[in-house]
Every structure is written in C-alpha cells, then in structure tokens.
C-alpha cells in the first residue's frame, strides 16, 4: 500500500462516511487520543494519515526507514464519565540500507495490531466559558496481526513487522482545561510492552502537552462558520532497551523530545487538522536510527 493508495483511501473516507457531522465537534490534541471529547451515547471518529521518516544512521549502513500509516479511531460515550475507544492502524513500511556498496530495500504492508482503551473522567468543574476535566485511562494492544512476515531475504526485522506478537498494556492520566479562546491538555502514560519469541520489548514512558489558541476569528460573533486554531504540542518519549534471551540489546531504546506545531480548522460538522512533529532532542542507544520527522494529517467528526 503506497502513500498514494493510503491517500486515496483517506480521501474516500472523508467523502463517503454516511453519518459524519451530525453532532458538534470540539478541538483536541493531534498527537494523542486520550483527550478526545465524546458525550454520552455519541460516537467520535478520527482518521489520521501519519508519515514517519528516519534517516540519521550512526551505523554507517545508510539506513533509511519510512512508514505511511492510516490510523482509524472510533470512540463511544458509554456514560457521561466513561468513554471507550478502538484504534486500528494500516501501515506501509520500507527500509533501505547499503551493504558492500549494494542497496537493499525491504518492505511490508498490512493491518497492524488493534488497541482497546477506556477513559474515566473522575473530576469535572464547569464555569462560565471554561471547563476543567481530569481523567484516567487504561488500554491494551491485542497481538492479532502477523509478527513473522518474510520476504525473499528471509524474516523481516522487527521494524517492518505489523505486530510484535506480544500483549502490551498501558495506563495514564489526562487533564483538559478549555476556555473560549484557548485550550490546554496534558497526559502522562506508562506502557508495559510484552515478550514474544525470546524478545522482551522495552517499556515506554510518555509525557505530552498541547496548547491551542484561536487565530481566527479574532472576536466571536453569530454565524461564524468555522474557527482556525494554531496549536503547539510537546511530546517526550522514553523507551527501555529490548532484551533478547535476557540480554539487553544495546542498539534499542532511548529518549526523544518532539516539538509539534500545527493547525486545526474547527466547524460544527467536522475538524480538519495537521501537525509536524520535529525531534529537537534525541538520545538513542547505540546505533538506533534517529527520526527525521513525523507528519500527521487528518479529520474528525462526531455522530
């Protein structure tokens, strides 16, 4: 599935979703889903095309990794406080490297592991033109996709597999403070990655922040068709190294800080959004491949 094919699928979903836009939508972070607002007995649907590129290779093999992933998120408001989410990615991945002056290209495409998540809002305080919400969330990634795909050169490396083959669990907290002019969201999460085939995948810690500010219109008035918001997010990721048969792989794990500018266009029927994750700090272990950027483009509707 090429970038073009993923783009065609993305455009088709935008045009032909039958129930889109029947419920007003609200802005929310682009790089994390835990703060998505969903009311009781309503659904929220987000679709994102995520382009990841990595090419800073300290190993000397000129490795270049790319992935184009279409992520579908469906949420449901089970109660005023409890929201349930399902997340399903479809991915096209490729890895190029040079060995003995010969370029080798390997790739894979398919459906990745689904994730199920629940969020419970245990504190909410509403004032005139503003609201504060604090919630906890927990989820699990189900190892349903193929984790031992091969090509003509044999078993594909872990970065090209659609699944790790392991159960992964995560927990965290999320805070939202919203006014008529701006919104602040923050989350902290811990993810325990499981073990499969002698590989113990390193656990992950994340800290994310989101600031949204209304750019247009400058003043509120009746009949405004939509709002343009500028956003800035910060994303801190810290991952332990993998263990292979109990021995730490010195070329896995590390820390990365992203600064993420973006735009959101918000109407009563839908949201269009885009953001560019720029790594401003990377401290990776060994010869782990550094990331160049992550580009996210998508839309969201409630129904």
The first and second tokens of residue 95, run together, are 């890895």
pTM summary value: 0.89
In whole angstroms, give the CA distance from residue 167 to residue 139: 11
pLDDT digits (tens, 9 = 90+) for 25-72: 678 999 999 999 999 999 999 999 999 999 888 888 899 999 999 999
Number of domain units in the chain: 1
Residue 4 φ/ψ, nearest 5 degrees = -65, -45
CATH code at position 286? 2.40.160.40
HEC secondary structure over 257-299: EEEEEEEEEEECCCEEEEEEEEEEEEEECCCCCEEEEEEEEEE
Q: In sequence order, what are the residues at sequence separation of 6 or more whose Cβ sits closer than 8 angstroms to the Cβ of residue 23? A: 39, 42, 301, 302, 303
pLDDT at 181: 87
Average pLDDT value for the chain: 91
pLDDT digits (tens, 9 = 90+) for 243-270: 999 999 999 999 999 999 999 999 988 9
Looking at 7-11, 22-26, 120-124, 276-280, which range is the least confident one? 7-11
In whole angstroms, give the CA distance from residue 121 to residue 136: 7
Q: Where are the beta strands (DSSP E) in 142-270?
A: 150-151, 154-155, 168-179, 182-192, 195-196, 199-200, 204-216, 226-239, 243-244, 247-248, 254-267
Per the structure, the complete domain to which residue 211 belongs is given by 3-302
Which H or E run contains 53?
strand 43-56
């Amino acid at each position: 599935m090429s970038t073009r094919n993923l783009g065609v699928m993305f455009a088709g979903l935008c045009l032909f979703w039958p129930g889109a836009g029947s419920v007003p939508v609200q802005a929310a972070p682009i790089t994390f889903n835990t703060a998505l607002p969903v009311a009781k007995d309503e659904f929220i649907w987000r679709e994102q095309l995520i382009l990841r590129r990595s090419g800073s290779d300290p190993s000397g093999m000129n490795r270049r990794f790319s992935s184009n992933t279409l992520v579908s998120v469906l949420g449901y408001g089970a109660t005023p406080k409890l929201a349930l989410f399902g997340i399903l990615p479809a991915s096209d991945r490729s890895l190029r490297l040079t060995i003995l002056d010969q370029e080798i290209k390997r790739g894979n495409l398919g459906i990745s592991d689904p994730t199920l998540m629940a969020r419970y809002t245990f504190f909410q305080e509403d004032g005139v033109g503003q609201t504060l919400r604090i919630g906890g969330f927990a989820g699990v990634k189900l190892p349903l996709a193929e984790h031992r795909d091969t090509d003509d050169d044999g078993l594909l490396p872990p970065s090209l597999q659609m699944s790790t083959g392991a159960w992964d669990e995560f927990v965290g907290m999320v805070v939202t403070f919203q006014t008529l002019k701006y919104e602040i969201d923050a989350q902290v999460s811990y993810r325990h990655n499981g073990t499969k085939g002698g590989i113990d995948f390193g656990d992950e810690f994340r800290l994310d922040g989101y600031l949204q500010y209304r750019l247009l219109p400058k003043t509120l008035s009746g009949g405004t068709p939509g709002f343009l918001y500028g956003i800035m997010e910060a994303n801190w990721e810290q991952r332990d190294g993998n263990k292979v048969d109990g021995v730490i792989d010195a070329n896995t794990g590390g820390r990365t800080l992203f600064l993420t500018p973006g735009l959101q266009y918000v109407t009563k029927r839908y949201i269009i959004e885009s953001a560019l994750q720029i790594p401003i700090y990377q401290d990776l272990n060994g010869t782990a491949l550094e990331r160049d950027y992550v580009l996210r483009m998508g839309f969201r509707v409630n129904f």
